Structures are given as structure tokens and as C-alpha cells.
Amino acid sequence: MTTLLEARNVTKVYGGGFLSKETNVALDNFSLTIEDGNPSVTVIAGESGSGKTTIANLLLDVIHPSAGEIRYRDKNLAHMSPAEHRTFRREVQAIFQDPFEAYNPFHKVDRVLRMPLRKFGLASGEAEQRKIIHEALELVGLRPEETLGRYPHQLSGGQRQRVMVARALVLHPRIIIADEPVSMVDASLRATILESLLRLNRELGISLIYITHDLTTAYQVGQSIFVLYRGSVTELGDVELVIKHPQHPYTRLLVESIPLADPARRWGEGTISITAEEENHATGPGCKFLGRCRHAMPICGEQSVPTFRTDDLRGVACFLHQDAPVMVDGDAATVLSQLARRSQVGSHAKTPSRKEEREE
């Protein structure tokens, strides 16, 4: 199996330049692999400021790593030829949180669908362009005759976001990176938009990287999950294992903070807050969660935490699990690959995570 998109030990540090001496490690030693021919749904989850959008921007080549590298089709993005980079820009598409930002209010929505086709010269004439656009709209559950010819404000938020998915689709991408695609959308529409994204994965073989701070939708759509805390991955692997039986104290705190009555409540609201003293711990050599951890041991503040492979399909960056083998480069990729393959074999119907289920 060849690798499509890969982040290899990527770190992103902001600041420390001419204007500001203070540095901020937005992402620390992050690795991710998306294989070709093995369509996957990978979730990147974490609270506000944990580094999710930083990962999206790095994978899209909008910003560049401070250390490590991003590779597409086994080529470092930084060393691609213009032709290779063009293929990358067509095959890796993004959907962002606020679809309104992508629209010019003075142009009909048709334009956002036509522009990418023109830019990449993908339609040979008007008729073909029309056909591609109609197909893409239908794939995301929109009727072309009710969508085309309208101005952005004449569509609902859910429709605008679906047009964004269609815009990504007209380019026949291999990967869609969706950064909080449903957080601005009415709760009742979230499920249908996520379902149309999942169809693209199942029917068109497009790999999805779904970025969210909503643990409930993470659980519903994902095969694998990376949980981020202040730029570091705390736990990764099978979404079912990680959310139903979390092992990292931070993931446990997150899962417990989903209230029973309102599983759609977002992380960081209410129960989770950080004090100045806890913040200080985050800058030491050890675990960034140390100041908030009930299980903290001396070793946690002394050295950086490796990721321990606590079972076949999961890794946990916590010394509570130091008896398990340390994950080495490539192990996480193997876990993701196994999960993507497993999902293709069986159907993956899941219900939202609730406390009752966790206490089975």
C-alpha cells in the first residue's frame, strides 16, 4: 500500500522572531499517515487552541513545519515541482468552518463551483462543466435547479456548507480535510452533512480528515482518532476504544465532561478550565497535562512522554502505561491502516457515546 499524505514528526512553533521573543509550540512531533487505496476517516479532536487548525494548515501547505516534514505521494511538499504541487492542490481539498467566508456576496453560488474547474482546466466546455457541477451537487444531496442561480444569502447555512463540499468534489480529490465543518450549522443539519461526507468516503473512496472539538460527532464518523492537548497527541487509535474506554487521564476527563442530557455539548465548555499554575506546568519538559492530572508521578515532570502501545489499535502518551511497549515511527501508521481496512470490511453503525454505554 502506498502512502498518500503523511506528516512525519511535525512541529510548529509560533513566535520567537523579531517582534516577539515568546514562543508557542502549537504542534509537537505530530505524525499521521493516510494511505492510497485504503480510504479512511481520521478524526483530530481537542479543545480550543490544542493545534487542530494548525494541523489542517500544515497538511494543506498553508503554513510550513518548524521541524519535520509533510509528504504527498512520497514527496516532501517543500521540494515538489510545480506540476507535483498542482496535483497535490487538486487532490487534497479543504472544507472550513464558516462557508460564508468562501463566498463573494455579489456573485451567484455557481461561481464557487466553476472557478476551481477553470483553475485546473478540468472541463473541456460548458456542457461538461455543467455535468460535473450537477453531479457534485447531487452527491451532496442538493438539487441543482434549486441551488444554481442563487446568491449565497439565498441559501441556508447547511446548503452553503454542502455547496462547499460540492466545490471540493468537482476536483475529484483523494483527501478532504474538514476543519469543524458543522460547528456553524444548525444541530438538526449536522447529521445530514456528516452523512454526505461519509458517503464520499464509502462510495468515492475519498479519505477524510475530520477536525472537531465535538466528541459526539467524532465518535459517530471516525474510524481512528487523535486526541490533542496543547499541541501534543495524548491518545490515538480506534475511535471506539479511545472514546468508550479512554486510558489517558485527559481523554477520560473529556469523555466524562460530555453531559448525559446534552451529548452535543462541546469540549472546554463548563467543566474544563485551566489555572495559571497549571499553565506553568505546560511549559516544562514533561507531560503538558501534569498540572491537571490526578495521577501525576515524579517522572511525569522530568522527561517527555513517549506513546505507549497499550493494545494493537491504540497508543497512549502517559507514564501510567509505561509497562506497554513504546510506539516507534511507523506504528501509528500501522494502527490507522488496520482501522481503515477493518471499516471497509464491516459496516460501522455507531450510536452516540453516552455514560450508560461507558459503564457497560
Ligand X SMILES: Nc1ncnc2c1ncn2[C@@H]1O[C@H](COP(=O)(O)OP(=O)(O)OP(=O)(O)O)[C@@H](O)[C@H]1O
Report the interface residues with ligand X, using CB under 6 A: 14, 24, 26, 46, 48-54, 213
- Residue 48's binding partner among Mg ion, ligand X, none (Cβ under 5 to 8 angstroms by kind) is ligand X
Q: Are 34 and 42 in contact (CB under 8 A)?
A: yes
Q: Which is nearer to Mg ion, 41 or 56 (CB)?
A: 56
At closest approach, how far in Å is the CB of 195 from ligand X? 23
Q: Which is nearer to Mg ion, 48 or 304 (CB)?
A: 48
- Residue 152's binding partner among ligand X, Mg ion, none (Cβ under 5 to 8 angstroms by kind) is none
Q: Which is nearer to Mg ion, 52 or 134 (CB)?
A: 52
Q: How many CB atoms lie within 10 A of CB 306?
A: 18
At closest approach, how far in Å is the CB of 249 from ligand X? 20
- Residue 46's binding partner among Mg ion, ligand X, none (Cβ under 5 to 8 angstroms by kind) is ligand X
At closest approach, how far in Å is the CB of 228 from ligand X? 7
Q: Which is nearer to Mg ion, 42 or 53 (CB)?
A: 53
Q: Which is nearer to ligand X, 17 or 298 (CB)?
A: 17
Helix axes 157-169, 126-139, angle to 10 degrees: 130
If you write DSSP's letter for every residue of 301-315 in order, what string do you get? HHSPPPPEEEETTEE
- Residue 120's binding partner among ligand X, Mg ion, none (Cβ under 5 to 8 angstroms by kind) is none
- Residue 156's binding partner among ligand X, Mg ion, none (Cβ under 5 to 8 angstroms by kind) is none
Strands 207-212, 41-46: pairing kind: parallel
**Where along the sequence are the contacts to Mg ion (CB under 5 A)?**
52-53
- Rg of the chain, C-alpha, whole Å: 21
The residues, ordered by sequence, that sit 6+ positions from 102 with a Cβ below 8 Å of its Cβ are 96, 112, 164, 167
At closest approach, how far in Å is the CB of 197 from Mg ion? 18
CA 282 to chain centre: 23
Q: How many CB atoms lie within 10 A of CB 218?
A: 23
At closest approach, how far in Å is the CB of 150 from ligand X? 29
Q: Are 70 and 209 in contact (CB under 8 A)?
A: no
CB burial string 276-297: b at 16+ within 10 A, e below: eeeeebbeeebbbbbbbbeebe
SS3 93: strand
- Residue 66's binding partner among Mg ion, ligand X, none (Cβ under 5 to 8 angstroms by kind) is none
